[in-house]
Chain A
Amino acid sequence: DVKVTQSSRYLVKRTGEKVFLECVQDMDHENMFWYRQDPGLGLRLIYFSYDVKMKEKGDIPEGYSVSREKKERFSLILESASTNQTSMYLCASKETGLGSQPQHFGDGTRLSIL
């Protein structure tokens, strides 16, 4: 089974801090994704990556950046955290080129910015 591991289930940070959310997958998937999930809004794509050092903006990239130095690891960075970034963050991975193959999700990180 695919395992997608997010480093923290719960995280509390302060406004203005630089925050790192880490995600690791164990299936050698090329594609990795970061979403945020908010009540009534569903999942919205922040950034995704097709390969090491490759990244593309999703639908809501403002205030975020990402890093993919190794294939198995995809990091989401909040450069200067703000209270409107309090949310649930989900990481996912997927094999490339196989359209019907699903994305596999981590458990999520519930991030609170105070």
Chain B
Amino acid sequence: AQTVTQSQPEMSVQEAETVTLSCTYDTSESNYYLFWYKQPPSRQMILVIRQEAYKQQNATENRFSVNFQKAAKSFSLKISDSQLGDTAMYFCAFMKGANSKLTFGKGITLSVRP
């Protein structure tokens, strides 16, 4: 079975600064997908960024980028130029191959300070 570990329960960052959220996973699969989801307070869970394991290039979406280290089974999320609207709970998630089941980490609460 796959496991996803987010070891930091909370983080805080000053507005406009950069923050990195860590995630590690454990799997014996070679083909899989990794995701970061964002859940703002009392709002819907939305996708932030995704990474296919077969791609060596790290995914980037505007201010959000990942550092995907396949050998180390690490998938961290970097948020540049943090904004107040980035305050949310962030979940790292793993999906095996074409199987659509997601395994989530426990999440991290990120607070952006003005």
- Chain A: residues with CB nearer than 8 A to chain B? 31, 33, 35, 40-45, 48, 50, 58, 90, 92, 94, 96-100, 102-103, 105-108
| Residue pair B100, A103 in contact (C-beta under 8 Å) | yes
| B19 in contact (CB, < 8 A) | no
- B72-108 vs A, CB cutoff 8 Å, 1 = contact: the mask equals 0000000000000000000100010111111011110
| Residue pair B98, A99 in contact (C-beta under 8 Å) | yes
B interface: dominant SS: loop
- Report the interface size for chain B: residues with CB under 8 A from the other chain: 24
- Chain B: residues with CB nearer than 8 A to chain A? 6, 9, 33, 35, 37, 43-47, 50, 52, 91, 95, 97-102, 104-107
Shortest Cβ gap from B54 to chain A (Å):
10
Q: Which residue on chain B has the smallest CB distance to residue A56?
A: B101
